[in-house]
Amino acid sequence: MKLLNIDGKFYEFLDTFWSLLKLNFMWLLFSLPVVTIGCSTVAAYDVALRMAEQRAGSVIPQFIKAFKYNWKQGLPMGLITLFITYSVYLNLELFDKVENNPIIFLLFAIMLGVVGLTHFTYAFPLCARYHNGIYKTFRNSAAITVKYFLRTLFLWFIVSALIFIFLLNTTLLFIGILIGPASIFLTVSSFATKTFSEIGKE
């Protein structure tokens, strides 16, 4: 039966699932200090990009190698991402809690969210693949988002759908804890790989 063939789809699925489990575990483990979340995210994208290009090696050694190599860029990128994310959350909380719900807080949260998404969507994959400095990385991410806006919009939809599915019930939430972040990294990497390839040809 082709389904149970060692080169079949079933074993390919199991291999991918096992790789996502390991990648997710490494990302969670190396993100525990919180301040290192940027470094671990860049390392996770390094592995996920290789998976998307079907040239992945051993997940754990590759993750550790990428973490060590990219920590100087990953650390400030993670802190900037955390700051913007918290700023969006804080403004939404102020809009909800302050008397009369001042619209300025909601508008500021939306503005920060749009700026954050524009600059962060491809930033970590770019950092994993190229070394251009933090400013250029964020600028290039924004440029790619604008140039490939419809594709990026579709990517945002898929990522949102994944998050929604993982939050549907307790069982799916458990699966989300096991492979959720890694699934998102692989999804973004699949889009990023195609986009980077097109840009390279240009």
How far is CA 173 from each of CA 24, 26, 44, 167, rounded to the nearest angstrom? Answer: 14, 19, 21, 5
In this structure, what DSSP letter does residue 54 have?
Answer: T
How far is CA 52 from each of CA 45, 168, 201, rounded to the nearest angstrom? Answer: 10, 27, 18
pLDDT confidence band for 5 (50 / 70 / 90) = low
Round to whole Å and give the CA distance between 202 and 186. Answer: 24
pTM, 2 dp: 0.89
pLDDT confidence band for 1 (50 / 70 / 90) = very low
Round to whole Å and give the CA distance between 55 and 128. Answer: 15
pLDDT digits (tens, 9 = 90+) for 24-74: 999 999 999 899 999 999 999 999 999 998 876 789 999 999 999 988 899
